[in-house]
Amino acid sequence: MSVTVTPLQALPIEQLRQRTSTKWRTYPEDVLPLFVAETDFLPAPTVTAALTRAIELGDTGYTPPDPGIRDAYVGFADRRFGWTVDPARIRTTCDVMMGVVELLRQVTEPGARVIVTPPVYPPFYDCIPEAGAVVERVPLRDTGTAWELDLEGIEAALGAGARAVLLCNPHNPTGTAHSRESLAALAELVEAHGAVVISDEIHAPLVNRGVVFTPFLDASPAAARVGYAVASASKAFNTAGLKCALMVTADDATTAVVRALPAEVEWRTGLFGALAAVAAFSPESDAWLDAQLAALDENRVLLAALLAEHVPGARYRIPDAGFLAWIDVSALGWGDNPAAKILREAKVALHFGPHFGEEGKGHVRLNFGCSPEVLREAIVRLGALASS
């Protein structure tokens, strides 16, 4: 029996402008900020209560060896993904990209090539060199109705010596939830070439209704053997500033690699991040997460209607997951980096498409984790620019 969920309501923009985070302090007040991946909702009540209690107690010291996040994530993964995780195979760190860098340092030699699948989250292009490795681009394939991994291209890159795949699952910016079949096929290729997969699964809790998220480590026995997952509550629960991520494994060999990481990697976990994550991953937060997903589901559909009405030259494919929209506006003649013109002339801040790779030319990324009113105003402004 289906249950009706009341969508979460975003805060009024006047209240949001009192925030001091990047989203609200990068541009002047006449700009609508829909660029960085922060949402406009109040935190889950469980998270607010946990952080409030910590402040009341002066509980602002160092993060303990086991703040409870391992067991909390195990329960969350079981409830939301149907995935059984061994808590002994979880270790924490500061954030997802730090976890990726530290893992890459362990599993690749200096100068090794690491496959990315553009258009992809811009920090991927920075964290690989930070770890001493080199970016190898194998773009996603556009089938005309969806994006998918180019398994033939990945196999060729592995055959030419690439040693790792840095996977985005679900994918940012396209919102693609990779299928179990494609992930299992990827794992077979990677294992055959003696390489590894590091899967960034930060958007995993945000899959839309009717969409199945497959954790990479759960895709197949081969995936469990070759994979590392890095996850966090920070995107789904808007806690990026609190600093906590999890590195998860499913095999003795990969677990040994994570356990061998320097103690300082785990010390970088923020106490508030850990406390917030324990609360976020608890069953008591499920109703709030479902309400947020209902709001995002309405917005992703609303965005399609708004673009069709006001910017008919734009091409947008409704994402499987997340609150980010990948929009092709190349037909409008706004140049390779249209977000610059949109910011300058329409006063709407979107993420710069070319930052996601060559495939991002003529594209923008829009954050629809906001109120319908803000989303509507942003697209009306784009429409006015398109018709000017």
- Listed residue (291, 188, 216, 233) closest to 67, CA to CA: 233
State the CB neighbour count (10 A cutoff) for residue 294: 17
The end-to-end CA distance of the chain, in Å, is: 49
**pLDDT given at position 1:** 46
State the CB neighbour count (10 A cutoff) for residue 119: 26
Distance CA 173, CA 170 (A): 9
Cite the DSSP H helix spans in the chain. 13-16, 22-25, 45-57, 69-81, 96-107, 124-130, 151-159, 180-192, 221-226, 252-259, 263-267, 271-280, 286-310, 338-341, 372-386
Q: Are 135 and 123 in contact (CB under 8 A)?
A: no
- The structural domains of the chain, ordered by start, are 13-43+285-386 (3.90.1150.10), 62-281 (3.40.640.10)
**pLDDT given at position 256:** 98
> Which helix (DSSP H) or strand (DSSP E) does residue 137 occupy?
strand 134-137
Q: Pairing state of beta strands 90-93 and 245-248? A: antiparallel
State the CB neighbour count (10 A cutoff) for residue 240: 20
Q: Is the pTM of this model over 0.95?
A: yes
Per-residue pLDDT of the chain (388 residues; tens, 9 = 90+): 457 899 999 999 999 999 999 999 999 999 999 999 999 999 999 999 999 999 999 999 999 999 999 999 999 999 999 999 999 999 999 999 999 999 999 999 999 999 999 999 999 999 999 999 999 999 999 999 999 999 999 999 999 999 999 999 999 999 999 999 999 999 999 999 999 999 999 999 999 989 999 999 999 999 999 999 999 999 999 999 999 999 999 999 999 999 999 999 999 999 999 999 999 999 999 999 999 999 999 999 999 999 999 999 999 999 999 999 999 999 999 999 999 999 999 999 999 999 999 999 999 999 999 999 999 999 999 999 999 8
Q: Are 237 and 273 in contact (CB under 8 A)?
A: no
